[in-house]
Amino acid sequence: MEDALTIDEAIRDLLDVSTDITAVAVLDEGGDVVAAAPGPAAAPGEAAVRLWEAAGRSAVAGGLTHVVVPVPGGAVAVLEAHGHRAVAVTGPDPAVALLLFDLRTCLGDAFAATEEAP
């Protein structure tokens, strides 16, 4: 089994492969930003938590795994996996399925090994 990446390495890889993403932040279970690129991201944590909670109130049984909201000039996506949430801001017309796959892969690369540990 390969070693897990650090979250900073996983984000760097994400930004290398995803041309749609212009900024990304990773939040812990409490909604605090644990990593972000490019540059620091203080506000996305609180905004992402509010977006997630609002969408969760409307979610069907089985829970919420992601939210994608179109905004002028692109979209904001929040995806939950491996005990963390990834928040991404995109440019215009993102390939949503690929965006979600890339975010899930980023979180898996950094955090899946911690779930498998005894």
- Are 52 and 78 spatial neighbours (Cβ–Cβ below 8 Å)? yes
Res 116: pLDDT: 55
Residue 72 DSSP label: T
Res 4: pLDDT: 74
Q: What is the strand order of the sheet 66-71 is part of?
A: 33-37, 21-27, 84-90, 74-81, 66-71
- List per-block mean pLDDT (blocks of 10 residues) for the chain, which spans 118 residues: 79 93 90 82 68 78 83 91 91 95 95 65
The alpha carbon of residue 63 and the mean position of all alpha carbons in its chain are separated, in whole angstroms, by: 17
Nearest to 40 by CA among 21, 62, 15, 23: 23
Q: Yes or no: is domain 7-113 CATH 3.40.50.10470?
A: no
Question: Structure pTM?
Answer: 0.85
What are the domain boundaries of the chain?
A: 7-113
Res 1: pLDDT: 44
Rg (CA), the chain: 14
Please count the CA atoms within 13 angstroms of the CA of 4 that sit on its side-chain side: 17
